[in-house]
Structure 1
Amino acid sequence: MKKTKQNRAANLSLKKPMSRVLIAALLFSTAVPSLPEMAFAQSYRFNSVQVDGNARIETGTVLSYAGIARGETISAAELNDAYQRLVASGLFETVEIVPRGGTLVINVVEYPTVNRVTFEGNRRLDDEALASVVQSKPRLVFSPTRAESDAARIAEAYSQEGRISARVTPRIIRRSDNRVDLVYEVFEGRNTEINRIGFVGNRVYSDRRLRRVLETKQAGLLRQLIRRDTFQEDRLQFDQQVLRDFYLSRGYIDFRTTAVDAELARERDAYFVTFNVQEGQQFRFGDITVVSNYPAADAEAYEQVVRLRPGIVYSPNHVENAIARMENLAVREGLDFLRVEPRITRNERDLTLDVEFVLSRGPRVFVERIDVEGNTTTLDRVVRRQFRIVEGDPFNPRQIREAAERIRALNFFENTQVNAREGSSPDRVVVDVDVEEKATGSLSFGGTYSTNSGFGLAISFSETNFLGRGQSLFLSLAGADSNKNYSLAFVEPAFLGRDVAFSFDLGVTETESFNAPYDTEVGEFGLGLEFPLAERSRLGLTFSLESSEMKASTSGDAAGSIIQNEIGQGDVISSSIGYKYTFDSRENGFDPTRGFLFEFGQDYAGLGGDVQFIETKARAVAQARILNEEVTVRASLRGGMLNYTKGSSRTIDRVNLLGDYLRGFEPSGVGPRQRGTNSSGAAFDNALAGNMFVVGSVEAEFPLGLPEEYGITGGAFYDISNIWDVGASAGQPGVLYNNGSYRHVVGLSVFWDTPIGPLRFNFAKALKKEQFDQEQFFNVTIRSEF
């Protein structure tokens, strides 16, 4: 409980008490008239020593500090030394030494006992956090020196939070029985923000590009929500390593940070940070060769898996990947203890690096055991399965480093340290893994807004380390004006202890006249397995069971004959199995500059259920950063086909080109549609979607010249799309655009990175469209990365 300042008996003075040695004037018992110029040093001899005022501390302890024995002759200087030793013991608030004839009286006042420790004025750091910092504890003897040290520790804790102006004052409140309450009065002060981050010496990459690399950020519009704009010295140390990794991955092997200057503003509320750097020259790969000193290893075979070409920009990550591929080949060939040593030769004239990979037999060192400590929630096996080696395997330092990175990538731990040390013998190694747990679950309540579905409410729960097993659990309840969605998903990333991800999901979606003259109710259940095929490719297998129904709209919107027939089909059940192949060539290095993604999948329905069909979808995306990585260019192409062999497709089964697929049009605003007058005499205009579609897009993202701490960039895009074929319903009267028609759209985008997620604002204009297409000039979406 917080204490007020009322009724305080005294404020703590943190200076040592004044010396009060009262030594009575002693008369010389003899005089030496014949030698008046000589003076004799005073000396004392006490038959007894009396200690008064001590309650908790034994008399023998006091005497041991004083160092005075009965019957011993001592000088005045030694008497003063005894006093100083008693004061320095830190046990007494006051000390007084009084000689009384043959008796030495020592009067002491003991420091009180700490009754309790409390904190006042703290809001940013709670009592529990501060209690873990201080060394003063209840039932310990109060020490002014310790209290001062505790105050300094609390101030340092606030400094780590970016509040360097925090002040802490220790106070005491006197209680009965020589007890005190120790109160730390905290003035937290304001966050000391970083107003500006600058660079000196950079020529290739702009300040703006380098600031995006750093963990530390400048104070921006959302400074109350973003905590990375506070000054923390440890973070600046980390940023120096991040900068080096950034330049090394781009071939600047001589890059170094010569100094980091942090200048505090006069008001002590802001810092100006400047990184002084030397970029050096960019190097590319020269000759790539493999030499074998291991008789069983064929150099030519290992050279084929290197996959490095002369002329490409040098990156340590490329070298590490080549070493990993060669070591994996050695494992497949049963060659233990193969070591690959890259020997690099600089060619200053053409700025290339020749790399010679030397294959040799390394020392016979085995992994004795892997010890995991600090994991209070996460099971040991979740950490241990990040290692590709087990006890008894040959020791490989590179594999240990990679395992450490995988453990950090789990995002289960605040801190992770992985170190190897000698085991029970020189040929044995123990791998120590020290982790510090952090919260991995979240419960959120919020609102949603979409230009297509309006305002809504959302409740979601997520746990990425469910029961400490490394499993993911997601639960979401969301509702808007015209649609509701309930979903549950579970993922086991290491099914049966292997690199196989198992997942299942449940979902229910209900819509009420959501851009259509009908309501829907869809329930889904799915199972999935996903596993790697090669270094950059994966395969996923799925099973899906779905129940879907179109219902007559309660809004009274008119529906044509096709929609009415589809509503008449009632509940339709489909059961399908499928696969999805993914090839991802995006670089695994630091802040990759380019990459390619290809996906191809098919679903086969007909294992029970009411319908049979084959659905095929494909997607290809390529991305690159140009103009010194200031501009990101992305091109994508996707398409699909739905072919029914039993039953017929409905509007909700076919593909709708929504905002994620095509900008510039309202949902269901393009593609086949039926127009006319129904049997009730009401005019209708129904979007029917299509069984086949193709969408291509080219877009660029670029800076707008605004301070990057705002998180706002610009973009431009060009989209082309076509959607066609409504299957058996094509013969109905009033069907338009069933054979397809290409639409062309151009537009501008504004990207905004906010604490709630990256948003994208699109402004689009259709260059080519059909007469009854429904345009949409503006929409807001969640920004997605390919």
Structure 2
Amino acid sequence: MNNALHAFNKNLERMRVMTRGWALIAALLVSGMMALASPVSAQDFNFSNVSVEGNQRIETATILTYLGFGQGEAVTAGAVNDAAQRIRATGLFEAVDVVPQGRTLIIRVAEFPTVNQIAFEGNSRIRDAELGAVVRSQPRRVYSPSQAEADTAAISQVYADQGRINATVTPRIIQRSDNRVDLVFEVFEGGLTEVERISFVGNRAFGESRLRRVLETKQAGLLRALINRDTFIADRVAFDQQVLTDFYQSRGYVDFQVQNVDVSLTRERDAYLITFNVQEGQKFEFGNLTVTSEVTGADPAIYEDALRLRTGATYSPELIERDITRLELLALRQGLNFVRADPRVTRNDRTLTLDVEFALVNGPRIFVERIDIEGNNTTLDRVIRSRFDVVEGDPFNPRQIRESAERIRALGFFGTANVDAREGSSPDQVVIDVDVTEAPTGSLSFGGNFSTDNGFSLLARFNQRNFLGRGQSLSFSVQGGVDNQNFSFSFTEPRLLGRDLSFGIDTSYRSTDSQNALYDTTRASLRPRIGFPISENGRLTLYFAYDHTEVTNYTTTGAPSPFILADEAQGGIGTSALGYGYSYDTRRTGLNPNAGVLFRFGQEFGFGDSSFIETTAELAAQTSVLSEVVTLRATIEGGLLSYTSGDSRVTDRYFLSSGTMRGFEPGGIGPRDDTFGSDKDALGGNAFAVVRLEAEFPLGLPEEYGISGGVFLDYGSVWDVGSSAGPVLYDDFTPRTVAGVSIFWNTPIGPLRFNYTEPLDVQANDQIQQFDVTISTDF
């Protein structure tokens, strides 16, 4: 027992000795390390000399400015390291080494080379100038690897914006003498990544083909080489979501939402697949429409009469905005400033109607301090200011400013036009800032023109929509073909005397030769005009017209026509006329977004060598049915020449072209000379009337091809020569009827229409034209 205890104590003592030994060793090591570290961390440098080595272009004095301390000044090792970092941060040097050697600080640098030139290789789809515009590296500047990488990303983005997401860009440097390099961007453009398919999920009211027509993004089709809208651009898809929302809401679907847009690439990464997931909701109509007033002197009954909305019409926010504008303008005319029409909508889910109460309230008393315009390098300030209904000192109305912004954009003079309001010199003053970016407004074109009526001709045309930045339009064209020659000139000042009063002058010269008739004609015309609105949808134009016409070189293979001989014998005849034209157009402002009406009526009162009254009228309507898949159009058009002295000539009468009545050659129907042995010359008529009915519908082809079909029926005639020079065929109303089918094709050069016609009711001497090509238009 005692021996064991003694052994235990002995071992314990030995362990205590060893512990004290290890502790002593640890203390000595820590003391030694502190002794070594203390002098370094606390060491101060004092350099009497700074030497810079390796710099060629950069001055030594420039490098020394980044040190942050001067010679003879005590600095720490940390300060020396910070100085090295500052020199590296300049981006001027490829390598920087700062070495203290006694009382001398040595700075060794290796300068980046200078960019000698910048070049692009492998690019064929995008020109060097376009790529150079996004590159920030510049010749005769220091080469920066980070900037070269940024330039590479910018070039790749340019290609991505054009649908070439697989394009690769590699920056290369070629060493030159005197520490210079050529910076070359090697481009592999790759294939075009198009939008292969646009589909919709959740749509019930409208089919995919109708919704795709709304979008700015298009599917790739036959014309993919010419159409740029079939490439994927994220901003464009975001815009399409808003356009799609506006489309549905203007048709009563107030709860419509684009829940998400799924954009994916095909496995080969050569095409995008875009899917719009939508929720339509229910379709609503306008319910009760009332006006209440919280403004002294504003009688609700008077304002209610000014409403254009009607109960039962399809709900549309745009229509509410228009009636708000009417009410607020009415308040201004009554001398009531700062009146706001606040629409208060009550939803009736059971009847699917929305009651709208237009509450007239007093708005804040804020005035327009000034209008600042920037960015218009060409367009004069007054052209932009003319789009505003307010001037400095007028009451401020946010809705008027938004409408003014839309009118500025509608000019078509600017790529972008932003209009914002900010607080002015005091809380009751606002400054309206207009920031625009100029866009090209002129064009000069040379080319060819073809129509089945006039054949092929060469064309030169100049057009400027913003002449000298004054908002004026100027155009002239020269066209020459085998059968006719045309010259035209037109000038329009849209804001005469700063008012909504347009002034214009049109002049033209046209000649035809015996290639398309048995006689030659010339016609020169001059028409100054003024136009102004007389209602929301109506506009009136007043004009003076001078025409000089002549018939020459009449030749015939048979007996000569006494009518043509009499016209030729009169030589050149000049007539003057005063006229007016009225137009009423609801295609963009009506209550139904799918329908519209166009009405034109005009009269011309001639005097001079002959006196006459010419009356023309046209009534056209268009609507879309079957979920807006089928478009129906109907047009009634007519004209009447009534002479009080003198008589009409072949140059004055109506000849129906294929644009007026399809299925016949120009002058193919109407009165003809019935002199025995004559060539049955077409004489034209003093009256015509035509009814055109047509329907346009999809053919089941991919929508991106832009091809649709149609059917039509035309019924009409031209009659009444008015002269008794000889016997006449079809001088009375002799109707013709034709039916046909059409192919509509939206091409980058314009909408084309191909018509194939089958005559149903024609006369023996009519000249039939069963196929024709025209530029397709709405009515």
Q: Same fold (TM over 0.5)?
A: yes
Could you tell me which of 698, 720, 732 is aligned with 2:715?
720
String of CA shifts for 1:148-190, please: whole Å, max 9, x gaps.
1122122222222322223222233334443333333333333
CA distance in 2, matches of 1:533, 1:541: 12
> In the alignment, what sits opposite 1:658?
657
- Report if the CA contact (8 A) 1:262-1:274 is conserved: yes
Shift of 1:79: 6.8
AA of the residue aligned to 2:198 = I
Secondary structure, aligned partner of 1:748: strand
- Report if the CA contact (8 A) 1:547-1:571 is conserved: yes
> In the alignment, what sits opposite 2:646?
647
In the TM superposition, 1:219-258 aligns within 5 A as 219-258=220-259
> How many residue pairs were aligned?
746
- Report if the CA contact (8 A) 2:453-2:657 is conserved: no
- Report if the CA contact (8 A) 2:257-2:280 is conserved: yes
- Report if the CA contact (8 A) 2:559-2:675 is conserved: no
String of CA shifts for 1:370-395, please: whole Å, max 9, x gaps.
11111111111111101111111111
Secondary structure, aligned partner of 2:450: strand
> In the alignment, what sits opposite 1:767?
760
1:740 and 2:730 correspond: no
AA of the residue aligned to 1:772 = N
- Report if the CA contact (8 A) 1:246-1:591 is conserved: no
In the TM superposition, 1:52-71 aligns within 5 A as 52-57=53-58, 59=60, 62=63, 65=66
Shift of 1:59: 4.6
CA distance in 2, matches of 1:79, 1:391: 62
1:166 and 2:167 correspond: yes
1:701 and 2:693 correspond: no
Shift of 1:746: 1.1
CA distance in 2, matches of 1:684, 1:67: 104
> Structure 1 762/171 Cα, relative in aligned 2: closer, same or farther at 3 Å?
same
> In the alignment, what sits opposite 1:783?
776
CA distance in 2, matches of 1:604, 1:396: 45
CA distance in 2, matches of 1:303, 1:288: 8
> Structure 1 535/557 Cα, relative in aligned 2: closer, same or farther at 3 Å?
farther
CA distance in 1, matches of 2:529, 2:663: 35
> In the alignment, what sits opposite 1:635?
634
- Report if the CA contact (8 A) 1:604-1:613 is conserved: yes
- Report if the CA contact (8 A) 2:457-2:479 is conserved: yes
- Report if the CA contact (8 A) 1:517-1:556 is conserved: no
> Structure 1 413/356 Cα, relative in aligned 2: closer, same or farther at 3 Å?
same
Secondary structure, aligned partner of 1:566: helix
- Report if the CA contact (8 A) 1:65-1:89 is conserved: no
Secondary structure, aligned partner of 2:593: coil
> In the alignment, what sits opposite 1:669?
668
- Report if the CA contact (8 A) 1:246-1:590 is conserved: no
Shift of 1:137: 2.7
1:419 and 2:420 correspond: yes
CA distance in 2, matches of 1:616, 1:455: 32
- Report if the CA contact (8 A) 2:256-2:280 is conserved: yes
CA distance in 2, matches of 1:694, 1:765: 20
| Deviation larger for 513-522 or 40-49 | 40-49
AA of the residue aligned to 1:777 = Q
1:534 and 2:527 correspond: no
String of CA shifts for 1:513-559, please: whole Å, max 9, x gaps.
35432110111111111100011111010111111011124686764
> In the alignment, what sits opposite 1:377?
378
AA of the residue aligned to 1:633 = L
> Structure 1 522/560 Cα, relative in aligned 2: closer, same or farther at 3 Å?
same
String of CA shifts for 1:11-63, please: whole Å, max 9, x gaps.
xxxxxxxxxxxxxxxxxxxxx99946844348366553533223444556646
Secondary structure, aligned partner of 2:679: strand
- Report if the CA contact (8 A) 2:52-2:60 is conserved: yes
CA distance in 1, matches of 2:356, 2:493: 41
AA of the residue aligned to 1:620 = L
> In the alignment, what sits opposite 1:297?
298
Secondary structure, aligned partner of 1:406: helix
> In the alignment, what sits opposite 1:281?
282
Could you tell me which of 687, 696, 699 is aligned with 1:692?
687
CA distance in 2, matches of 1:160, 1:588: 36
> Structure 1 558/666 Cα, relative in aligned 2: closer, same or farther at 3 Å?
farther
- Report if the CA contact (8 A) 1:440-1:464 is conserved: yes
> Structure 1 365/559 Cα, relative in aligned 2: closer, same or farther at 3 Å?
farther
In the TM superposition, 1:544-693 aligns within 5 A as 544-553=545-554, 559-588=560-589, 592-606=593-607, 609-677=608-676, 683-693=678-688
Shift of 1:364: 1.2
- Report if the CA contact (8 A) 2:556-2:679 is conserved: no
With normalisation by structure 2, the TM-score equals: 0.91
Identity over aligned pairs, percent: 55
String of CA shifts for 1:299-324, please: whole Å, max 9, x gaps.
00000011211111000111011111
- Report if the CA contact (8 A) 2:557-2:679 is conserved: no
> Structure 1 589/162 Cα, relative in aligned 2: closer, same or farther at 3 Å?
farther
> In the alignment, what sits opposite 1:455?
456
> In the alignment, what sits opposite 1:23?
none
CA distance in 1, matches of 2:468, 2:196: 42
AA of the residue aligned to 1:745 = V
> In the alignment, what sits opposite 1:10?
none
AA of the residue aligned to 1:334 = G
Shift of 1:127: 3.9
Residue ranges of structure 1 left out of the alignment (5+ in a row): 1-31
Secondary structure, aligned partner of 1:308: coil
> In the alignment, what sits opposite 1:357?
358
Larger Cα-atom Rg: 2
> In the alignment, what sits opposite 2:485?
484
In the TM superposition, 1:105-504 aligns within 5 A as 105-504=106-505
Secondary structure, aligned partner of 1:677: coil
CA RMSD of superposed structures (Å): 2.4
Shift of 1:65: 5.0
CA distance in 1, matches of 2:149, 2:27: 57
CA distance in 2, matches of 1:762, 1:550: 32
Higher helix proportion (structure 1 or 2): 2
CA distance in 2, matches of 1:557, 1:378: 61
String of CA shifts for 1:641-698, please: whole Å, max 9, x gaps.
10111111112211111101111122111111113435xxxx4111111111111111
> Structure 1 33/267 Cα, relative in aligned 2: closer, same or farther at 3 Å?
closer
| Deviation larger for 182-191 or 148-157 | 182-191
Shift of 1:361: 1.6
> In the alignment, what sits opposite 1:20?
none
CA distance in 1, matches of 2:102, 2:431: 70
CA distance in 2, matches of 1:119, 1:740: 71
- Report if the CA contact (8 A) 1:516-1:687 is conserved: no
Residue ranges of structure 2 left out of the alignment (5+ in a row): 1-24
CA distance in 1, matches of 2:496, 2:29: 102
CA distance in 2, matches of 1:591, 1:99: 85
Secondary structure, aligned partner of 1:158: helix
Secondary structure, aligned partner of 1:727: coil
> Structure 1 589/613 Cα, relative in aligned 2: closer, same or farther at 3 Å?
closer
Shift of 1:72: 5.1
CA distance in 1, matches of 2:369, 2:662: 58
CA distance in 1, matches of 2:638, 2:590: 30
CA distance in 2, matches of 1:579, 1:335: 36
CA distance in 1, matches of 2:76, 2:506: 88
- Report if the CA contact (8 A) 1:413-1:437 is conserved: yes
CA distance in 1, matches of 2:479, 2:746: 23
| Deviation larger for 263-272 or 172-181 | 172-181
> Structure 1 51/571 Cα, relative in aligned 2: closer, same or farther at 3 Å?
same
| Deviation larger for 667-676 or 123-132 | 123-132
| Deviation larger for 581-590 or 716-725 | 581-590
String of CA shifts for 1:43-97, please: whole Å, max 9, x gaps.
366553533223444556646656687675756x887676555444423212234
CA distance in 2, matches of 1:497, 1:558: 60
- Report if the CA contact (8 A) 1:513-1:555 is conserved: no
> In the alignment, what sits opposite 1:4?
none
CA distance in 1, matches of 2:762, 2:555: 31
